[in-house]
Chains A and B, each alone.
Chain A
Amino acid sequence: DTGVSQDPRHKITKRGQNVTFRCDPISEHNRLYWYRQTLGQGPEFLTYFQNEAQLEKSRLLSDRFSAERPKGSFSTLEIQRTEQGDSAMYLCASSLQGGSTEAFFGQGTRLTVV
């Protein structure tokens, strides 16, 4: 399978705990995006990498959220001190650099904070 892979698919955590999600992009893609989606809404931009550089972060991304992409390959998204409002689907996408090319999404990680 050469698509975008996300792990885990589902995560249930208690409020206040830290969680980390992983995304493996399509191998030749150097752009990687993280989005959050709640029920009935479209995906909401969180952050974007080109290779290992984090080029843009949404103003909505609080200090409890951090993302990394070491060596420009896989990426991790960590949420510290989770809150119930963090419950959502977290989507990762990747695309090729150059012009405006489509992004391909993974199946997402469904986070439930109890």
Chain B
Amino acid sequence: EDQVTQSPEALRLQEGESSSLNCSYTVSGLRGLFWYRQDPGKGPEFLFTLYSAGEEKEKERLKATLTKKESFLHITAPKPEDSATYLCAVHNYGQNFVFGPGTRLSVLP
């Protein structure tokens, strides 16, 4: 069965303190790995798609990387507005997206 785990469950950072979030996955056939941001009470907002090991994508203070077993979301010099839950999902050959439980990020001013 396809599974996605994320760590840590929650992370508190000071503004400007860089860190990384981890997403580990086991999937029968990986078609793509996705990162989303979710604010409280809202739907997930798409951030990145990664397709193959070694691939990297960047957007503002965020950089996502992919290996054969896991993905990392690096946050450089975060700001309070980066506070959110970050979700990782894999797209398998069954055509649906399997999500992890998310990492709740709090960035303190």
CB <8 Å contact, B42 and A33: no
CB <8 Å contact, B45 and A40: no
CB <8 Å contact, B43 and A55: no
Partner of B41, one of A45, A106, A110: A110
A-contacting 9-mer, from B11-19, B61-69, B74-82, B96-104: B96-104
Interface size on B, residues (CB 8 A): 26
Partner of B43, one of A50, A102, A106: A106
> Residue B44 at the A interface, CB < 8 A?
yes
The contact string, 1 if C-beta is below 8 Å from chain B, for chain A 8-34, is: 000000000000000000000001010
A15 to chain B, nearest CB (A): 23
CB <8 Å contact, A55 and B95: yes
CB <8 Å contact, B101 and A100: no
Report how far A50 CA is from B96 CA in the complex, Å. 11
Interface residues of B in 10-64 (CB under 8 A from A): 31-32, 34, 36, 41-46, 49, 51
CB <8 Å contact, A103 and B95: no
Partner of A100, one of B31, B43, B98: B31
CB <8 Å contact, B43 and A40: no
CB <8 Å contact, B43 and A45: no
CB <8 Å contact, B101 and A33: no
**Residue from A6, A33, A43, A50 with most neighbouring chain B CB atoms (10 Å):** A43
CB <8 Å contact, B96 and A43: no
Measuring CB to CB, which residues of chain A are less than 8 angstroms from any residue of chain B? Answer: 4, 6, 31, 33, 35, 40-45, 48, 50, 55-56, 91, 93, 99-108, 110
Per CB-CB distance, the 7 closest pairs between chain A and chain B, nearest first, are: A100-B32, A42-B99, A100-B31, A105-B43, A100-B91, A45-B96, A43-B99
